[in-house]
Amino acid sequence: MNEFEVIARISGRLGERPREVVVPIGDDCAVVRLGEKDWVIAADMLVYGHHFKKWASPEDVGYKAVAVNASDVAAMGALPRFVLASGGGREAETTLRCMEGVLEACEEFGIYPLGGDTTSADALTVDVSILGELEETPVLRSGARVGDVLAVTGELGASAAGFLALEDGRRSPERLVRKHLRPEPRVAAGRLAARLGVHAMIDLSDGLASDVRHICERSGVGCRLDIGSLPVSEDVREFVRSLGKDPEVLAATGGEDYELLISAPEHLVDALDTESDVPVTVIGEVVEEGVTFLRNGEYAEELSGWDHFRRS
Protein backbone atom coordinates (compact mmCIF):
# COMPACT_ATOMS: atom_id res chain seq x y z
CA MET A 1 0.00 0.00 0.00
CA ASN A 2 1.16 3.47 -0.84
CA GLU A 3 0.52 5.80 2.02
CA PHE A 4 2.00 8.78 0.21
CA GLU A 5 -0.71 8.53 -2.39
CA VAL A 6 -3.32 8.40 0.35
CA ILE A 7 -1.85 11.48 2.02
CA ALA A 8 -1.75 13.31 -1.30
CA ARG A 9 -5.33 12.39 -2.00
CA ILE A 10 -6.36 13.53 1.46
CA SER A 11 -4.42 16.79 1.16
CA GLY A 12 -6.23 17.53 -2.09
CA ARG A 13 -9.54 17.31 -0.28
CA LEU A 14 -8.83 19.39 2.80
CA GLY A 15 -11.10 22.33 3.44
CA GLU A 16 -9.86 25.82 4.27
CA ARG A 17 -6.97 25.71 6.70
CA PRO A 18 -7.97 27.03 10.14
CA ARG A 19 -5.86 29.89 11.46
CA GLU A 20 -4.31 27.63 14.14
CA VAL A 21 -2.70 25.33 11.56
CA VAL A 22 0.92 26.37 11.04
CA VAL A 23 2.03 23.19 9.21
CA PRO A 24 -0.65 20.89 7.74
CA ILE A 25 -0.48 17.14 7.05
CA GLY A 26 2.65 15.97 5.21
CA ASP A 27 5.64 16.49 7.52
CA ASP A 28 6.71 14.28 10.45
CA CYS A 29 4.01 16.07 12.46
CA ALA A 30 1.44 18.78 11.82
CA VAL A 31 1.96 22.01 13.77
CA VAL A 32 -0.89 23.91 15.45
CA ARG A 33 -0.66 27.20 17.32
CA LEU A 34 -2.72 26.84 20.50
CA GLY A 35 -2.58 29.90 22.65
CA GLU A 36 0.83 31.53 22.37
CA LYS A 37 2.66 28.28 21.71
CA ASP A 38 3.14 25.88 18.80
CA TRP A 39 2.36 22.21 19.32
CA VAL A 40 3.21 19.31 17.04
CA ILE A 41 0.75 16.47 16.59
CA ALA A 42 1.03 13.07 14.91
CA ALA A 43 -0.07 9.44 15.12
CA ASP A 44 1.42 6.05 14.28
CA MET A 45 -0.27 2.67 14.31
CA LEU A 46 1.32 -0.77 14.75
CA VAL A 47 -0.54 -3.91 13.63
CA TYR A 48 0.37 -7.52 14.31
CA GLY A 49 1.55 -9.32 11.18
CA HIS A 50 2.38 -6.05 9.44
CA HIS A 51 4.64 -4.13 11.83
CA PHE A 52 5.61 -6.94 14.21
CA LYS A 53 5.15 -10.66 14.69
CA LYS A 54 5.01 -13.08 17.57
CA TRP A 55 8.61 -12.26 18.48
CA ALA A 56 7.37 -8.98 20.01
CA SER A 57 5.70 -9.07 23.43
CA PRO A 58 2.57 -6.94 23.90
CA GLU A 59 4.67 -4.72 26.18
CA ASP A 60 7.24 -4.25 23.40
CA VAL A 61 4.48 -3.24 20.99
CA GLY A 62 2.96 -0.66 23.35
CA TYR A 63 6.41 0.69 24.18
CA LYS A 64 7.45 0.94 20.54
CA ALA A 65 4.21 2.68 19.52
CA VAL A 66 5.04 5.51 21.94
CA ALA A 67 8.75 5.56 20.99
CA VAL A 68 8.11 5.91 17.24
CA ASN A 69 5.66 8.74 17.87
CA ALA A 70 8.18 10.45 20.12
CA SER A 71 10.65 10.10 17.25
CA ASP A 72 8.27 12.02 14.93
CA VAL A 73 8.06 14.75 17.56
CA ALA A 74 11.86 14.78 17.90
CA ALA A 75 12.17 15.24 14.13
CA MET A 76 10.29 18.56 14.43
CA GLY A 77 12.62 19.68 17.23
CA ALA A 78 9.83 19.39 19.80
CA LEU A 79 9.42 17.83 23.23
CA PRO A 80 6.97 14.89 23.51
CA ARG A 81 4.38 15.76 26.17
CA PHE A 82 1.05 13.92 25.89
CA VAL A 83 -0.26 10.77 24.25
CA LEU A 84 -3.52 8.97 23.63
CA ALA A 85 -3.23 5.21 23.11
CA SER A 86 -5.89 3.05 21.50
CA GLY A 87 -5.87 -0.62 20.80
CA GLY A 88 -5.97 -4.11 22.08
CA GLY A 89 -5.68 -7.77 21.33
CA ARG A 90 -7.79 -10.89 21.49
CA GLU A 91 -7.48 -11.33 25.27
CA ALA A 92 -7.98 -8.60 27.88
CA GLU A 93 -4.59 -9.65 29.29
CA THR A 94 -2.88 -8.87 25.96
CA THR A 95 -4.50 -5.45 25.88
CA LEU A 96 -3.40 -4.75 29.44
CA ARG A 97 0.15 -5.83 28.73
CA CYS A 98 0.27 -3.61 25.65
CA MET A 99 -0.98 -0.63 27.68
CA GLU A 100 1.65 -1.43 30.33
CA GLY A 101 4.25 -1.03 27.57
CA VAL A 102 2.66 2.30 26.62
CA LEU A 103 2.98 3.45 30.24
CA GLU A 104 6.53 2.20 30.55
CA ALA A 105 7.54 4.26 27.50
CA CYS A 106 5.65 7.28 28.85
CA GLU A 107 7.65 7.05 32.08
CA GLU A 108 10.88 6.60 30.14
CA PHE A 109 10.32 9.64 27.91
CA GLY A 110 8.51 11.90 30.41
CA ILE A 111 5.20 11.76 28.52
CA TYR A 112 1.80 11.98 30.22
CA PRO A 113 -1.00 9.70 28.93
CA LEU A 114 -4.33 11.48 28.49
CA GLY A 115 -6.45 8.46 27.61
CA GLY A 116 -7.41 6.54 24.52
CA ASP A 117 -9.57 3.53 23.90
CA THR A 118 -9.10 -0.12 24.79
CA THR A 119 -10.79 -2.61 22.52
CA SER A 120 -10.78 -6.24 21.43
CA ALA A 121 -9.12 -7.06 18.13
CA ASP A 122 -8.14 -10.39 16.59
CA ALA A 123 -4.70 -9.01 15.71
CA LEU A 124 -2.96 -6.94 18.40
CA THR A 125 -3.16 -3.34 17.22
CA VAL A 126 -2.09 -0.12 18.88
CA ASP A 127 -2.39 3.44 17.68
CA VAL A 128 -0.70 6.26 19.55
CA SER A 129 -1.37 9.94 19.00
CA ILE A 130 1.12 12.40 20.39
CA LEU A 131 1.25 16.08 21.25
CA GLY A 132 4.66 17.70 21.47
CA GLU A 133 5.62 21.15 22.68
CA LEU A 134 7.75 23.45 20.52
CA GLU A 135 10.13 25.95 22.03
CA GLU A 136 11.80 26.82 18.74
CA THR A 137 10.61 27.21 15.16
CA PRO A 138 9.69 23.70 13.97
CA VAL A 139 12.27 22.05 11.71
CA LEU A 140 10.54 20.92 8.52
CA ARG A 141 11.50 18.55 5.74
CA SER A 142 11.44 21.40 3.26
CA GLY A 143 14.37 23.55 4.40
CA ALA A 144 17.39 21.76 2.87
CA ARG A 145 19.65 24.02 0.77
CA VAL A 146 22.39 23.35 -1.74
CA GLY A 147 25.66 23.45 0.17
CA ASP A 148 24.23 21.82 3.29
CA VAL A 149 25.73 18.59 4.48
CA LEU A 150 23.51 15.66 5.38
CA ALA A 151 24.13 14.02 8.73
CA VAL A 152 22.57 11.34 10.91
CA THR A 153 22.43 10.86 14.65
CA GLY A 154 23.55 7.63 16.30
CA GLU A 155 23.90 4.57 14.11
CA LEU A 156 22.14 2.93 11.18
CA GLY A 157 21.26 -0.68 10.48
CA ALA A 158 21.14 -1.94 14.05
CA SER A 159 17.34 -2.13 14.13
CA ALA A 160 17.17 -3.82 10.71
CA ALA A 161 19.82 -6.30 11.86
CA GLY A 162 17.80 -6.98 15.02
CA PHE A 163 14.74 -7.54 12.85
CA LEU A 164 16.63 -10.10 10.76
CA ALA A 165 17.66 -11.89 13.95
CA LEU A 166 14.07 -11.93 15.26
CA GLU A 167 12.72 -13.15 11.93
CA ASP A 168 15.29 -15.91 12.10
CA GLY A 169 13.90 -16.99 15.48
CA ARG A 170 16.85 -15.64 17.50
CA ARG A 171 16.85 -13.40 20.59
CA SER A 172 20.44 -12.34 19.96
CA PRO A 173 22.56 -10.37 19.33
CA GLU A 174 20.67 -8.85 22.26
CA ARG A 175 21.72 -5.25 21.61
CA LEU A 176 20.42 -5.39 18.05
CA VAL A 177 17.18 -7.13 18.97
CA ARG A 178 16.57 -4.49 21.61
CA LYS A 179 17.27 -1.73 19.07
CA HIS A 180 14.43 -3.13 16.98
CA LEU A 181 11.96 -3.74 19.80
CA ARG A 182 12.67 -0.67 21.94
CA PRO A 183 13.94 2.15 19.75
CA GLU A 184 15.34 5.28 21.42
CA PRO A 185 13.82 8.44 19.98
CA ARG A 186 16.44 11.21 19.62
CA VAL A 187 14.50 13.81 21.54
CA ALA A 188 17.43 15.70 23.06
CA ALA A 189 19.35 15.77 19.77
CA GLY A 190 16.25 16.92 17.89
CA ARG A 191 15.61 19.82 20.28
CA LEU A 192 19.26 20.81 20.17
CA ALA A 193 19.21 20.71 16.35
CA ALA A 194 16.18 23.01 16.34
CA ARG A 195 17.89 25.38 18.79
CA LEU A 196 20.99 25.46 16.58
CA GLY A 197 18.81 26.26 13.56
CA VAL A 198 19.44 23.28 11.28
CA HIS A 199 17.68 23.63 7.91
CA ALA A 200 15.72 20.37 7.58
CA MET A 201 15.11 17.22 9.60
CA ILE A 202 13.23 13.92 9.32
CA ASP A 203 13.26 10.77 11.39
CA LEU A 204 14.43 7.58 9.72
CA SER A 205 11.52 5.18 9.79
CA ASP A 206 11.23 3.86 6.22
CA GLY A 207 15.01 3.80 5.82
CA LEU A 208 17.60 6.36 4.81
CA ALA A 209 17.33 5.71 1.05
CA SER A 210 13.61 6.39 1.20
CA ASP A 211 13.48 9.11 3.82
CA VAL A 212 16.22 11.24 2.24
CA ARG A 213 13.97 11.47 -0.82
CA HIS A 214 11.26 13.12 1.30
CA ILE A 215 13.72 15.85 2.28
CA CYS A 216 14.90 16.28 -1.32
CA GLU A 217 11.38 16.35 -2.80
CA ARG A 218 10.06 18.77 -0.20
CA SER A 219 13.10 21.02 -0.45
CA GLY A 220 13.41 20.93 -4.24
CA VAL A 221 17.01 19.75 -4.09
CA GLY A 222 19.06 16.63 -4.72
CA CYS A 223 21.73 14.85 -2.71
CA ARG A 224 24.84 12.70 -2.90
CA LEU A 225 25.17 10.15 -0.13
CA ASP A 226 28.13 7.89 0.47
CA ILE A 227 27.01 4.66 2.08
CA GLY A 228 30.64 3.93 2.89
CA SER A 229 30.42 6.72 5.47
CA LEU A 230 27.27 5.50 7.24
CA PRO A 231 27.69 4.95 10.99
CA VAL A 232 27.37 1.16 11.11
CA SER A 233 28.69 -0.42 14.30
CA GLU A 234 31.00 -3.40 14.33
CA ASP A 235 28.48 -5.82 15.85
CA VAL A 236 25.98 -4.92 13.12
CA ARG A 237 28.58 -5.46 10.37
CA GLU A 238 29.60 -8.79 11.81
CA PHE A 239 26.09 -10.13 12.30
CA VAL A 240 24.79 -8.94 8.93
CA ARG A 241 27.80 -10.40 7.12
CA SER A 242 27.18 -13.72 8.93
CA LEU A 243 23.79 -13.77 7.20
CA GLY A 244 25.48 -13.22 3.82
CA LYS A 245 24.10 -9.69 3.53
CA ASP A 246 25.72 -6.32 2.90
CA PRO A 247 25.77 -4.23 6.12
CA GLU A 248 25.96 -0.86 4.34
CA VAL A 249 23.08 -1.61 1.99
CA LEU A 250 21.05 -2.80 4.98
CA ALA A 251 21.94 0.39 6.86
CA ALA A 252 20.78 2.48 3.89
CA THR A 253 17.53 0.65 3.26
CA GLY A 254 16.56 -1.41 6.31
CA GLY A 255 14.46 1.22 8.07
CA GLU A 256 13.18 1.67 11.61
CA ASP A 257 16.40 3.30 12.77
CA TYR A 258 14.49 6.16 14.41
CA GLU A 259 17.60 8.28 14.06
CA LEU A 260 17.40 11.85 12.78
CA LEU A 261 18.52 12.83 9.29
CA ILE A 262 19.59 16.47 9.30
CA SER A 263 20.39 18.95 6.55
CA ALA A 264 22.47 21.89 7.76
CA PRO A 265 25.66 23.87 7.13
CA GLU A 266 28.65 21.83 8.24
CA HIS A 267 29.50 24.08 11.20
CA LEU A 268 26.05 23.48 12.70
CA VAL A 269 26.48 19.73 12.34
CA ASP A 270 29.85 20.04 14.06
CA ALA A 271 28.24 22.00 16.89
CA LEU A 272 25.46 19.43 17.18
CA ASP A 273 27.97 16.58 17.29
CA THR A 274 29.91 18.36 20.03
CA GLU A 275 26.94 19.29 22.20
CA SER A 276 24.74 16.24 21.65
CA ASP A 277 24.75 13.08 23.76
CA VAL A 278 24.79 11.00 20.57
CA PRO A 279 27.37 11.11 17.79
CA VAL A 280 26.35 12.92 14.61
CA THR A 281 27.93 11.70 11.36
CA VAL A 282 28.14 13.50 8.02
CA ILE A 283 27.03 11.09 5.31
CA GLY A 284 26.62 13.29 2.24
CA GLU A 285 25.74 16.65 0.82
CA VAL A 286 22.84 18.52 -0.71
CA VAL A 287 23.18 19.24 -4.43
CA GLU A 288 21.02 20.84 -7.12
CA GLU A 289 19.19 17.71 -8.21
CA GLY A 290 19.11 13.91 -8.34
CA VAL A 291 19.53 11.41 -5.54
CA THR A 292 22.86 9.66 -5.95
CA PHE A 293 24.30 6.91 -3.78
CA LEU A 294 28.05 6.37 -3.73
CA ARG A 295 30.11 3.79 -1.91
CA ASN A 296 33.53 5.10 -0.96
CA GLY A 297 33.40 7.56 -3.85
CA GLU A 298 32.22 5.08 -6.52
CA TYR A 299 28.67 4.99 -7.91
CA ALA A 300 26.71 2.45 -5.81
CA GLU A 301 25.08 0.10 -8.30
CA GLU A 302 23.18 -1.72 -5.53
CA LEU A 303 21.12 1.36 -4.69
CA SER A 304 20.68 2.90 -8.12
CA GLY A 305 17.26 1.41 -8.73
CA TRP A 306 16.17 1.56 -5.14
CA ASP A 307 12.80 3.19 -4.80
CA HIS A 308 10.73 3.45 -1.67
CA PHE A 309 7.57 2.76 -3.65
CA ARG A 310 8.93 -0.73 -4.22
CA ARG A 311 8.21 -1.34 -0.54
CA SER A 312 4.52 -0.58 -0.97
Interaction site with a second copy (CB under 8 A): 1-3, 5-7, 9-10, 13-15, 17-18, 20-21, 24-26, 29-30, 32, 34-37, 39, 41-45, 47, 49-51, 81-82, 84-88, 91-92, 95-96, 99, 103, 106-107, 112-123, 125, 127, 129, 131
Of 14, 16, 95, nearest in space to 62 by CA: 95
- Give the separation between CA 304 and CA 58, rounded to whole angstroms: 38
Identity of the residue, 75 or 268, whose beta carbon is nearer to a second copy in the bound complex: 75
Sign of CA dihedral 63, 44, 162, 276: negative
Identity of the residue, 43 or 188, whose beta carbon is nearer to a second copy in the bound complex: 43
List CB contacts of 262: < 8 A, sequence separation 6 or more. Answer: 150, 151, 152, 153, 193, 198, 200, 201, 269, 272, 280
CB of 38: closest distance to a second copy in angstroms? Answer: 10
Angstrom distances, CA of residue 165 to CA of 39, 160, 178, 236: 38, 9, 11, 11
Angstrom distances, CA of residue 42 to CA of 70, 157, 175, 292, 298: 9, 25, 28, 30, 39
Identity of the residue, 4 or 246, whose beta carbon is nearer to a second copy in the bound complex: 4
Identity of the residue, 30 or 287, whose beta carbon is nearer to a second copy in the bound complex: 30
CB of 99: closest distance to a second copy in angstroms? Answer: 6
Identity of the residue, 116 or 279, whose beta carbon is nearer to a second copy in the bound complex: 116
How do 112-118 and 79-88 pair as beta strands? parallel
CB of 114: closest distance to a second copy in angstroms? Answer: 4
Identity of the residue, 26 or 279, whose beta carbon is nearer to a second copy in the bound complex: 26
CB of 167: closest distance to a second copy in angstroms? Answer: 18
- Give the separation between CA 307 and CA 311, rounded to whole angstroms: 8
- Give the separation between CA 149 and CA 146, rounded to whole angstroms: 9
Identity of the residue, 124 or 252, whose beta carbon is nearer to a second copy in the bound complex: 124
CB of 82: closest distance to a second copy in angstroms? Answer: 7
Helical H runs in 76-173? 92-109, 158-167
- Give the separation between CA 256 and CA 62, rounded to whole angstroms: 16
- Give the separation between CA 47 and CA 142, rounded to whole angstroms: 30
**57 burial level (CB within 10 Å; 0-12, 13-18, 19+):** middle
CB of 8: closest distance to a second copy in angstroms? Answer: 11
* C-alpha neighbours within 13 Å on the C-beta side of residue 226: 12
- Give the separation between CA 116 and CA 76, rounded to whole angstroms: 24
Identity of the residue, 131 or 156, whose beta carbon is nearer to a second copy in the bound complex: 131
CB of 301: closest distance to a second copy in angstroms? Answer: 31
CB of 55: closest distance to a second copy in angstroms? Answer: 18
